């Protein structure tokens, strides 16, 4: 089945059925990267509900909010499923901080991207080694960069299939689903944080601001950290 056909199949399914369907297609390693955001909490609930053979992992950058750590504990306790935590290379963090300071990311976009790469991208790449399918909580509504995403894409860099089961969900639909299913979520969301990353790099947004305005608010950039590269449009065969 090529990507065009796969996306056609996925478009007619619910998010729950998309996850189950991809598990039927692939017997090799399927992984889900959770940042513990609302979207990811929905996916964790769907994986646990169906007892799907999907490994769940998260990245601890060393600069997270305490509320995020508390949510991780609550999530594991609620669903009784393991969540593996990946950390950045300590030597690389130490070298960056020694050379540029603990808050170098405020000084330039280049410094911020370097920090994101060391604390997030490299650990992600380690977590994805050997995986055949990478499941994410991306929604098209989140930013302009994500409007043209598809349910299934081929990540050329990492040589794996990337699945976005909540791609067509609205923010309102997500909140309603969380409420109806009593899904645990970060209390910072109730304080104006639609997106929660590292504590020094995330703030609450004001009414009318873009949903990504609270991420790296001091810079004019695409508001991405490098975890999600541009898609590779092609009729790539999915094996």
131 and 56 Cβ atoms separated by less than 8 Å: no
- How far is CA 53 from each of CA 38, 89, 151, rounded to the nearest angstrom? 21, 28, 20
What is the helix, strand, coil percentage profile of the chain, to 5?
A: 45, 15, 45
Active-site entry in 115, 116, 198, 225: 225
Dist. CA 123–CA 61, nearest whole Å: 9
Sequence-ordered list of residues with C-beta below 8 angstroms from that of 23, at least 6 positions apart, any chain: 30, 52, 53, 54
82-118 exposure pattern, b = at least 16 Cβ within 10 A, e = fewer: ebeebebeeeebeebeeeeeeebbeeeeebbbbbbbb
Concerning whether 225 is annotated as a catalytic residue, the answer is yes
Rounded distance, CA 109 to CA 82, Å? Answer: 35
Burial-class residue 64 by CB neighbours within 10 Å (0-12, 13-18, 19+).
buried
CB 106 within 8 A of CB 209: no
The residues carrying an active-site annotation are 225
């Amino acid at each position: 089945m090529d990507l065009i056909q796969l996306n056609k199949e996925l478009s007619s399914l619910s998010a729950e059925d998309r996850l189950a369907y991809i598990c039927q297609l692939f017997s090799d390693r399927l992984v889900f990267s959770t940042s513990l955001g609302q979207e990811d909490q929905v996916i964790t609930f769907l994986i646990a509900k169906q007892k799907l053979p999907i490994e769940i992992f998260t990245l601890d950058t060393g600069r997270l909010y305490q509320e995020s750590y508390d949510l991780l504990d609550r999530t594991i306790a609620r669903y009784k499923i393991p969540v593996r935590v990946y950390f950045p290379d300590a030597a690389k963090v130490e070298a960056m901080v020694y050379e540029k300071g603990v808050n170098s990311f405020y000084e330039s976009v280049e410094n911020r991207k370097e920090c994101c790469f060391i604390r997030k991208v490299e650990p992600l790449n380690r977590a994805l080694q050997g995986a055949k399918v990478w499941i994410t909580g991306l929604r098209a509504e989140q930013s302009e960069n994500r409007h043209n995403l598809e349910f299934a894409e081929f990540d050329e860099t990492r040589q794996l299939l990337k699945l976005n089961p909540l791609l067509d969900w609205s923010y309102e639909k997500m909140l309603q689903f969380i409420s109806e299913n009593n899904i645990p979520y970060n209390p910072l969301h109730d304080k104006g944080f639609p997106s929660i990353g590292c504590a020094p790099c995330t703030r609450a947004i004001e009414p009318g601001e873009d949903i990504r305005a609270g991420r790296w608010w001091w810079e004019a950039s695409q508001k991405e950290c490098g975890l999600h590269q541009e898609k590779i449009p092609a009729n790539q065969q999915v094996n």
